[in-house]
Structure 1
């Protein structure tokens, strides 16, 4: 048995003997005063309402009660084994593409919605891991730092959208660099970046970013969204009404297709693997 607050035991070791001595002294003075007042039997008759035996046991019970209170304050503990444990879960930072092409409907209901469903499922299946969330389009930033709070993560995933970043485009390399900076280097567990994207990047050099992450012992996994045939990119007004589809300079409707070759190359450079959101590796 051990005590969480042993100071109260030391306090009791000082106070209780003092209280006992005080009570003994009070009883001694009462007897002495009784002798001074006259015949002890006569004094006892005058104070017949006071029972000395009952008074003694009241004092004993009062002392026991004080001892019990001090013992409770010391917080005794039985059978406890204090151990420091090291968390064994992984650090996983999710990169979510929120560029306009993610609104294409070749994944039901859209690529972005399909990605969000896959992310929620991944988080739910990994209760011992920490997750962070980076969103990217024509720029990237950390929406949620590494956390174990699932409610915060689910809320952030739900609220992430095309309007979260005003700059258009897809900067996969920037997303990788942003995610790589979000890890705790003192944490002993595995570190991984999981990118959810259709892979349409013509602005940056994601392979160089993937090799940079791999050099810091960070694995990169990629998840492809969209079909090889592609789908048009819808345009909406401020009220969310469909107004048409994105066109090129000649007025032709642009079809956005998943770039599996690039996503697979990023995963290979980052020491991870590529999978399509449908669940089948291609």
Structure 2
């Protein structure tokens, strides 16, 4: 058991003046008589009421003690805990341009990437992981955290249409760098998934890669898309729904390879969901370093036992004073 206000235990010092006062009071009110001999009363036993009077005072002290414990707020052991664990800093940068709805993955590239990313997050016990999405612009979906529930909820809830369409690989990488650079782990890695080539944005991909290199951040790039052609969105029909047709898969593998090589990472090509899962399993073997992480555990007050004891002692005091220890005027 822990206490929210342990400093209030100093209130137990009130027992000292109370005991002194009680001893003084007893000595003052006890009657005395002088006699030449005690032979006539030496066999008399002390009445149980004398001892009960002392017991009544003890009951009152116990009641005061229970009240002090309640004021100290006894609680369950739930709390913030800081522990040192093996982990790394990771940011997942996910392309969410319209082409990620191509049907060469099941059910499409974007959904497959979300599923595999969720499995990857679930398997990383103690890592600080952040989420960045990019299309024609980039956006931090979730800053780095060790809360897997928040990460999984963010991945599952993100939908297409959040950002202006396009493929700003450089902006997505730059935003990921800004998120991960403040991390405390020595090992920092960005996993960038895209199915196209950079066609918009303010920062060139290789410029962002140079920044990552200077910061000691590894970038693992993944090109998503089958070989040949894939059934991909080509427009919107009269009813506002996407129209699909077969489009040649074009991934700027040269740029993605250069980013990975410059930063000490690695480039992967995922042609289906199974190969994407294999890639994430390989990345899952990233080096780990010591991390100090804080976890919150729910804390609840646990004073009911002491409250019932307080009521019991007060009730016992009332019963004794109104029955066997009743004073007669």
1:263 aligned residue (246, 249, 256) = 256
Q: Is the 8 A contact 1:227 1:257 kept in 2?
A: no
- Secondary structure in 1 matching 2:258: helix
- Name stretches of at least 5 consecutive residues in structure 2 with no aligned partner: 34-46, 75-80, 280-329
The residue aligned with 2:37 is none
In structure 2, the partner of 1:12 is 12
Pairwise mapping of residues 1-282 of structure 1 onto structure 2 (< 5 A)? 7-13=7-13, 15-32=14-31, 51-63=49-61, 66=64, 85-166=83-164, 168-185=165-182, 187-203=184-200, 205-234=204-233, 235-237=235-237, 241-245=241-245, 254-277=247-270, 278-279=275-276
Structure 1 unaligned blocks of 5 or more? 36-48, 77-82, 246-252
Mapped contact 1:88–1:189 kept (Cα < 8 A): no
**How far 1:126 moved relative to its partner?**
0.4
CA distance in 2 between partners of 1:7 and 1:185 (Å): 37
Deviates more, 1:62-71 or 1:155-164: 62-71
Shift of residue 236, structure 1, vs aligned partner: 4.2
1:259: Cα distance to partner? 3.5
Q: CA deviation at 1:64?
A: 5.1
Contact kept? 2:219, 2:260, Cα under 8 Å? yes
Q: 1:85 to 1:261 in 2, by over 3 A?
A: same
Residue correspondences, number: 251
Q: For residues 220 and 105 of structure 1, what CA distance do their matches in structure 2 show?
A: 27
C-alpha separation between the residues in 1 aligned to 2:128 and 2:103?
A: 31
Per-residue deviation, residues 70-90 of structure 1 (Å, max 9, x unmatched): 5787799xxxxxx96445422
**Does the residue aligned with 1:16 lie in a helix, a strand or coil?**
helix
Indicate if the aligned counterparts of 1:263 and 1:274 stay in contact, CA closer than 8 A: yes
- 1:172: how far off? 0.7
Superposed displacement of residue 238, structure 1: 8.5
RMSD after superposition: 3.3
Q: Please, what TM-score do these two structures have when normalized by structure 2? A: 0.65
The 1:232/1:200 distance shift into structure 2, 3 A limit, reads farther
Change (3 A) 1:220 1:6: same
Whether the 8 Å CA contact 2:89–2:185 is kept in 1: the answer is no
Q: Is the 8 A contact 2:231 2:244 kept in 1?
A: no
What SS does the corresponding residue of 2:180 show, helix, strand or coil?
coil
Secondary structure of the equivalent of 1:164?
coil
**Aligned-partner Cα distance in 2 for 1:51–1:121:** 74
